[in-house]
A and B are shown apart, each in its own frame.
Chain A
Amino acid sequence: MSVAGPTGWVGRSIRRLEDPVLIAGRGRFTADLPAAHRVRFVRSQHAAGRIANISAPNGIMLVTAADLKDVKPIRPMLHKFDYVPIGQPVLATDRVRFVGEAIAAVVAASEAEAEDAADAVEVDLTPADALIDARAALADGAPLVHAEARGNVIVKGTVETPEFAAARSGADRLLRVDVRSHRQNATPLEPRCGHAAFDPASGRITLTCSTQMPHLTRTAIADLLGLPEAELRVIAPDVGGGFGQKMSLPPEYVLLVWLARKLQSSVAWSEDRHENLIAAFHSRDQQITLEGGFDRDGKLVCLSADVIANIGAYSCFPTTGAVEPLMAMAEMPGPYDVRGYRCAARGVLTHTCPMAPYRGVSRPVITFAIERLMDRAAVSFGIEPSELRRRNLIKRFPYVSATGLTFDDATYVETMELAIKHIDLAAFRKRQKAERAKGCYIGIGLSTFSERTGYGTPAFAARGMEITPGWETVEISIDPSGFVEARIGASPHGQGLRTTLAQIIADEIGVDPRMIRVVHGDTDRTPYGFGTFASRSLVIAGGASLLAARKVRVKLTRIAGYLLETSADDIVLEAGVAKVAGTDRSLPIESLARAAYHQLHRFKGEIEPGIAESATYDPPGTFSNACHVAIAEVDPDTGRVTLEKFLAAEDAGRIINPMIVDGQIHGGIAQGIANALLEEIVYDGSGNVLTSTLADFLPPTAREIPPIELHHLETMSEATITRAKGVGEGGTIGAPAAVLNAINDAIAPFGVEINEMPATPQRIRAALRAVEKRT
């Protein structure tokens, strides 16, 4: 790694361009908009049942499915793996399928009046038996959540490589882990929120909503309502976090647009936290049985996985509910070299809230599974977990995995060695021994993993997705005053993308990033694109920004060449001026812009008017990587886990803004720690959510998150044109496994294991109690 500092804007921790507005309380979030009407949804209090009648006292404006006969159900599609397309009506028709499902809406002048009106709505519903757990839904004779999905299985992926059978029979030992990841809610601090307004002049509707994907929201709603997309404008203003929960289409937004058209007015809905916890999308509800076969040297030779994902009552748009089980199948081997692989992954319908992507999507769970297996193997072979990993991590690149994924250059071993060096493993083991002698149980846990980022169209097509959100377009223009505007289809909501894209563009065209306005989140103002999710924006929108900026650069140098009477090749763009290299002759970019618009005659017809360029980028995809290390203390009397330290060594290629990268990793790790220790959506046997406040769901505070130490390798990637890889999800992917491995290392003397997350005090105590009884 070079020690020289960056020469341009890229690589510098410049302050975020987003901040001055947000810090002063001048941000514009959806709920800040005034509306003529407020909407409140009446939600099912039963997990399953038949609706007989819905009524409201006179004077209440009530909307039910009977009013929405022309509105199609949300029915995302996948063309592989025996996927069964199922529909979700915008409001429940004759049946309800989860507690929290919207069955009616009321409209009133204020939120309080809408809540009063919703309370007055009477729903006559005959409850039916509910399926909450995926295994119960798979049982013979279980009732069907959707008649068309036999056995309640919506998708089934299977794979077995030709090497598997022989590798398994030749293995020195077979080790098995059964892991359980309980349900999570991404819990953005701003709940979902939508505002639809009718414009009497054009007849168009503007939907302002807290979304990560404005363009796909427009497509989806236009399709469901049978409208041309041109009649709908979708705006994602400031969005208070998303973490994936806001990349799936909420049925509520469809109804808002329908209502605004019907009332020819403005309507708004702000989800409350209770609704968010029970009815916004859930995730990570999986059970995995993983068996690894190892040769006598501790080399993994085969891997066999059975994945059951509880995907809830409906399939989310656009990814479908198959996203978790299929990603588990494709990426289970993680960063390890193994040729023998077999997997069966099923997505199972239950009477619970639909599952959808949440930062990391499936990989926090599969990393937990395989990293537990690796630690189990290390114990079995009597070696350090790091040594076991050293023998198994992929070392030669490009590496084509057992499932056909191409792993580009990465530093799996190097980041692990870096992490171990900084944590001082040898010293820790000494301290651990001394502490144990005093009855104090501390443990260390490692997690080595890859983070697939910035994947393009072919990667999504390989999954059989109807919609393959692989590319992004960026348009860059310079107006006659010399101000630079970049319009992007990506839709950042906290990632600082306005700043990082401006840094990339600034270096190409030689202006200060503060002179560049990055416009996003408005379908009327930005080119079609897919939004921000899957650690894709910096890679894909960043790549498109670079390509578009290069075109602008070419145009600026040509203009300058004409005006300065020299070859375009002699022009250097820097600090807002175009200079003739080696001379003191120069022109400010404003003059070039002015001439491009207002003095076209100076270019003898050889230059097109204006400065506006566009470029699209659709990359093959790449893998970032990292090693996380947690040090935890477990109090065996109470089951309490205290994290002493958390360290991550990561490599995401070129770092555009180190400050922002660290912030992404910090936040991801905090969510991963919460996943490992605290957060859980708990259903009772009849399908009611018992954790419907933030005092029950338990997002961590500043007290629960330990100091996080970060180290970076900045290996320039050949896989992307910016040489940068994505970094948005790695924190959440790696942290849970590191924490669970640390807990298990701490309690190893008791001879028990915790393979369930969150590892709550109750679960840890239950495991310890079991051995206390035996002894």
Chain B
Amino acid sequence: MSGKRDIVLSVNGRDYKIQVEPRRTLVDAIREDCGLTGTHIGCEHGVCGACTVLVDGAAVRSCLMFAVQADKKTIRTVEGLAAGDELSVLQRAFMEHHGLQCGFCTPGFLMLITGVLEREPDIGDEELIDVLASNLCRCTGYQNIIKAVRAAVQERRAK
């Protein structure tokens, strides 16, 4: 077994100096070493997207990235979406339109969409559905996730 490496993960604006084995995945480091359990593990093979976080602004399956690869990179997770008690537009839209049921996939969807809307605020509706098809939800049949995301897009554009 290879020894542990010292790395720094910058998560939601805070630096976590941690020691990890090279084989440790980013999601395990975020959950167990940083104690941020809002990011969930659904498949560990990069299909379901429950573990999606933003790394330097891009949506990443954190089960497919090693923690050492994220050393000194800027990471954002669901815990960093709200500004204090003020939820993001997207978070509010999910609540308003019943875009979550069990809530297990929700952090992954929120991070996926947050990343896309920041990068491509004018993304078209069809492209948006393609992006949503990156992640799996087992409860909602996607109807209300799509509704919530469309509402959030509208609200962001109206601002």
Question: By the criterion CB–CB under 8 Å, are A29 and B104 in contact?
Answer: yes
Q: List chain A positions with a Cβ less than 8 A from chain B.
A: 15-16, 18-20, 22-29, 31-32, 34, 111-112, 116, 187-191, 238-241, 243, 270, 272-273, 493-496, 659-660, 662-663, 666-671, 693-695, 699, 701-703, 705, 707-708, 731
A-B contact pairs, 20 of them (CB 8 A): A22-B103, A24-B87, A26-B79, A27-B104, A34-B32, A188-B104, A189-B137, A190-B40, A240-B105, A241-B101, A241-B102, A241-B139, A662-B98, A663-B144, A666-B140, A667-B140, A695-B45, A695-B47, A703-B129, A708-B141
Closest to A186 in B: B138
Q: Which residue of B lies closest to A710 (CB)?
A: B143
The answer to whether B102 touches A239 (Cβ under 8 A) is yes
| Distance to closest chain A CB from B131 (angstroms) | 9
Contact assessment for A25 and B39 in the assembled complex, using a CB-CB cutoff below 8 Å:
yes
Interface contact B129-A694, CB-CB below 8 Å: no
Given contacts A187-B138, A240-B40, contact A273 B101 (CB under 8 A): no
Residues of A within 8 A of B105 (CB): 189, 240
Residues of B within 8 A of A494 (CB): 101-103, 139
Known: A22-B103, A24-B79, A273-B43. A112 touches B24 (CB 8 A): yes
Supposing A19-B100, A189-B105 touch, asked if A693 and B143 sit within 8 A by C-beta, the answer is: no
Give the most central of B96, B107, B139: most A CB within 10 Å: B139
A189 lies within 8 A of B50 (CB)? yes
Query: For A28, what are the chain B residues with a Cβ–Cβ distance below 8 Å?
Result: 37
Tell me whether A241 and B104 are in contact in the complex, defined as CB-CB below 8 angstroms, given that A24-B79, A701-B133 are known contacts. yes
B35-48: contact bitstring with A at CB < 8 Å (1 yes, 0 no)?
A: 01111111111011
Which listed residue (B41, B47, B132) contacts A693, Cβ 8 A?
A: B47
Q: For the complex, give the distance between the alpha carbons of A187 and B48 in Å.
A: 11
Bound CA span A15–B44, Å: 32
Min CB–CB distance B13 → chain A (angstroms): 15
Q: How far is the CB of A433 from chain B (nearest CB, A)?
A: 30
Contact present for A694 and B43 (CB under 8 Å): yes
Cβ–Cβ < 8 Å partners of A707 in chain B: 143
Contacts of B36 in A (CB 8 A): 25
Cβ-defined partner of A29 (8 Å) among B37, B43, B77, B100: B37
Contact partner of A708 among B95, B101, B143, B145, CB < 8 A?
B143
Contact with B139, one of A32, A111, A667, A693 (Cβ below 8 angstroms): A667
Chain B residues closer than 8 Å to A26, beta-carbon distance: 38, 79
Cβ–Cβ contact A188 & B95, under 8 A: no
The reply to whether B136 and A189 contact each other, CB–CB distance below 8 Å, is: yes
Min C-beta distance of B56 to chain A, whole Å: 20
**Closest residue on chain B to residue A18 by CB atoms:** B103
Interface centre among B133, B141, B142 (most CB of A within 10 A): B141
A residues within 8 A CB of B32? 34
The CA of A22 and the CA of B24, in the complex, are separated in Å by 26
Complex alpha-carbon distance, A267 and B84, angstroms: 35
By the criterion CB–CB under 8 Å, are A660 and B98 in contact? yes
Alpha-carbon distance between A472 and B94 when the two chains are bound, in angstroms: 32
Give A240 to B107 CA distance when docked, in angstroms: 12
Identify the interface centre among A19, A189, A270: most chain B CB within 10 Å of its CB: A189
B146 within 8 A of A: yes
Would A31 and B78 count as touching, CB distance under 8 A?
Answer: no
- Given B79, B102, B132, which contacts A238 in the complex, CB threshold below 8 Å? B102
Binary flags per residue of B109-120, CB closer than 8 Å to A gives 1, else 0: 010000000000
Which residues on A sit within 8 Å (CB–CB) of B110?
23
Most A C-beta atoms less than 10 A away, residue of B42, B77, B103, B134: B103
Whether A240 contacts B77 by the Cβ 8 Å rule is no
Complex: how many Å from CA A28 to CA B37? 8
**Which of A23, A493, A695 interacts with B100 by CB under 8 Å?**
A23
CB–CB A705/B143 < 8 A: yes
Contact A189 B104 (CB under 8 A): yes
Q: Which of B87, B96, B104, B133 contacts A190 (CB 8 A)?
A: B104
One of A24, A270, A273 near B91 (C-beta < 8 A) = A24
Q: Are A25 and B138 in contact (CB under 8 A)?
A: no
Known: A112-B24, A667-B141. A694 touches B130 (CB 8 A): no
**Across-interface contacts of A694 in B (CB, < 8 A):** 43, 45, 47-48, 136
With most chain A CB atoms within 10 A of its CB, the pick from B101, B129, B135 is B101
Beyond A243-B138, A694-B48, 16 additional pairs, beta carbon < 8 A = A18-B103, A20-B95, A24-B81, A24-B82, A31-B41, A187-B138, A189-B104, A190-B102, A238-B104, A663-B101, A667-B140, A669-B141, A699-B138, A701-B133, A705-B141, A707-B143
Chain B hits for A116, CB < 8 A: 1
- List, in ascending order, chain A residues with CB within 8 A of B129's CB: 702-703
Q: Are A705 and B136 in contact (CB under 8 A)?
A: no
Contact status A22-B106, CB under 8 Å: yes
Q: Are the C-beta atoms of A659 and B98 separated by less than 8 Å?
A: yes
**Among B44, B87, B146, contact of A23 (Cβ-Cβ < 8 Å):** B87
Tell me the chain B residues, 1-47 only, with Cβ under 8 Å from chain A: 1, 21, 23-24, 28, 31-32, 36-45, 47
Please tell me if the beta carbons of B37 and A23 are within 8 angstroms of each other in the complex: no
Instruction: List the B residue with the shortest CB-CB distance to A243.
Output: B138
Which of A27, A32, A659, A707 has most chain B Cβ within 10 Å?
Answer: A27
A693 contacts B95, C-beta separation under 8 Å = no
Residues of A within 8 A of B78 (CB): 24-25
Q: Give the residue of B38, B45, B95, B142 whose beta carbon is less than 8 angstroms from that of A25.
A: B38
Complex Cα distance, B143 from A602, in Å, reads 55
Kindly name the residue among A187, A190, A708 whose own CB sees the greatest number of chain B CB atoms within 10 A.
A190
Residues on the B chain within 8 Å of A241, using CB: 101-102, 104, 138-139
Q: Bound complex: CA of A272 vs CA of B96, how far in Å?
A: 32
Q: Which 7 A-B pairs have the closest CB atoms?
A: A25-B38, A240-B104, A670-B141, A22-B103, A494-B102, A25-B78, A666-B141
A702 touches B142 (CB 8 A): yes
B145/A693 in contact, CB under 8 A: no
A668 vs B143: C-alpha distance when bound (angstroms): 12
B141 to chain A, nearest CB (A): 3
B contact residues around A18 at 8 Å (CB): 103
A666: chain B residues within 8 A (beta carbon): 140-144
A113 vs chain B, min Cβ distance (A): 8
Task: Give chain A residues whose Cβ lies under 8 Å from the Cβ of B43.
Answer: 273, 693-694
- Considering only CB atoms, which chain B residue lies closest to A34 in the complex? B32
A16 touching B98, Cβ below 8 Å: yes
Q: Which of B40, B43, B107 has the most CB of A within 10 A?
A: B43
Q: Which residues of A contact B103 (CB under 8 A)?
A: 18-19, 22-23, 27, 238, 240, 494
Interface centre among B24, B81, B98 (most CB of A within 10 A): B98
Asked if A189 contacts B91 (CB within 8 A), the reply is no
Q: How far is the CA of A705 from the CA of B110 in the complex (A)?
A: 20
Least CB separation from A19: chain B residue: B95
**Distance to closest chain A CB from B48 (angstroms):** 6
Partner of B106, one of A23, A188, A496: A23
- Point out the residues of chain B lying under 8 angstroms from A190, CB to CB: 40, 42, 102, 104
The CA of A243 and the CA of B101, in the complex, are separated in Å by: 12
Cα distance, A663 to B146, chains bound together (Å):
13
Which residue among A16, A24, A26, A708 has the maximum number of chain B CB atoms within 10 Å of its CB? Answer: A24
CB contacts (< 8 Å) of A23 on chain B: these are: 87, 91, 94-95, 100, 103, 106, 110
Please name all residues of chain B whose beta carbon is closer than 8 Å to the beta carbon of A731 when the two chains form the complex: 141
Return B143 CB to nearest CB of chain A, in Å.
4
Closest to B143 in A: A666
Interchain CA distance A241-B98 in the complex, whole Å = 15
Within 8 Å CB of B23, what residues of A?
Answer: 112
- Bound form: Cα–Cα A632–B28 in Å: 42
Q: Which residue of A lies closest to B134 (CB)?
A: A701
Which of B39, B130, B137, B138 has the most C-beta atoms of chain A within 10 angstroms of its own C-beta? Answer: B138
Q: Which residues of B contact A273 (CB under 8 A)?
A: 42-45, 48
